[in-house]
Structure 1
């Protein structure tokens, strides 16, 4: 069995952390996973340990804590890992250096959060870009979570033959709608069982454009707005809701860790972000049977022709467009849809199996070079992967 050490910056409830947990769950018996977390562990660490996965705490105190590097090298050497797999910017930089110093031959990175002009919600300065691309050369290959991310990596100078596209995945069953759960969650949140609830899920950072959503929602005469997530913009968004008269109808639920529950309480999912690396919350909303309004979603853009479901509506950025879209949903009333084919297209089992096969292939490849030069390699669909 392939022994893999995942190195990740933190283990909060972000998309990258949840993807790591889901991959571990769905490759049990195929891969022997361990996880090293650079910063103090969050709630996903406990979930990993509940699944029998050792979690090593590196205790890194900041981006320039170079003392963490030798600790990481010692951990990797002691573990005898076949593969080191890094996630998120800081872990990719330190993890690839440490893995190379420790003599690991197969070093994989997943790029979860590379946008235009930002990475993980932070500006991509010249120094950030230089450090990223320099350490990328120390690895074997980089996994992009969408063709959109692969294009951005190529734009940064990463050779296409060093990129493999394996999209994010989700467990559709976990998001399936149940009326009993909806009633229970609304009661717990103190929401009127008959209220029309607009919802949004994500980290509260400027790139998600929750400010635009709040402004558009404030023009409606009815309905509630439920915002799920946390981040540095929370206080500013609360002030905005106060200032535009939406405070009494806007709830900030925080980082609950129960996204399927929160989706069950909503009637529409709104995703106004102008750029995304994948758009996982949109696919999760569709899995929960919700109509979805979105501005950017590579996961839908990359679907085969004709597979984008009618309940997913593209809304151009801008206050007027979002006001009109929200008002139309409110006038139509609550509607629940069966999960579309697009949800099954991103089955987590396919994602996990593709990663397990990637580990096995590259640990045995002479020199551990990426595939022959050309376009980034695409993962195999479920119908071709034996699932």
Structure 2
């Protein structure tokens, strides 16, 4: 959990190893076999060289929500004209049918394809930002896989931006070409975290169910328990968003229903209680959530429900077998916290003055 508490500006090799710096390694990449010298090349093969001044950008620009304010939606901050890359199709081709470049690429075209803007965006980022599907597929067809995982000044990959802008076809194409699904942005969010936050179900499905094509294997598998810098895994975010379809999708693909978030140790069931939605609590209990899961302070979901006066949720938890006598680190039981302690008694045959005691629902 030490990683969950790291600030965005702290040095961490795990966060930066596939970032902007990765462009500098393009000089050592072998040229694709399909690339032959063009008529203006002078006959010799051209090396991969990043454009001057592209590796370092200005200070990061954010809006009030911490999201991109400049390049995500608006300007691409291109500092010079890009050479033509050949005739691209005007209609969006299908993601599974990438556009194959015709003819050889000269040095000028290779430089354009490895261009980086002032915000750290590559041409792949810009194709997603401007919803240029044909250009995106062209880049995916000719660029090495390492370029797809270059992160901009906010540590967002093109896959982050495709999810942010709710472009499932672009997400599908990037995953097919092996784009990493585990890289984290400035807030520690993977593309899947972002899909859960923005409730983009189609993008989440592409991320979870998509597989790279042969020869595009990913070095790291998708970790559904990975936490962002707030300590939240994807299931925690989907629960706080009260999005049952997303929760079902995550659980179906192997998310741990009892995983604890990194700040106080709450499980999805604790968070569901805090949303005060009884149907969400019932859904998690039916899915197998541990009813007496404990937070770091020893509180169970019933402690939270009783302390908040949520009688109907408390009743649901008791019916599922919650123990109303468990004590937290402050030696309190859920009965101690309840407004009506009798409502949480684990007996259904109590009588007062000869009359049965009815528990409130």
Greater share of strand: 1
Query: Shorter-chain-normalised TM-score: which range?
Result: under 0.3
Q: TM-score, normalised by structure 2?
A: 0.25
**Greater Cα radius of gyration, structure 1 or 2:** 2
Greater share of helix: 1
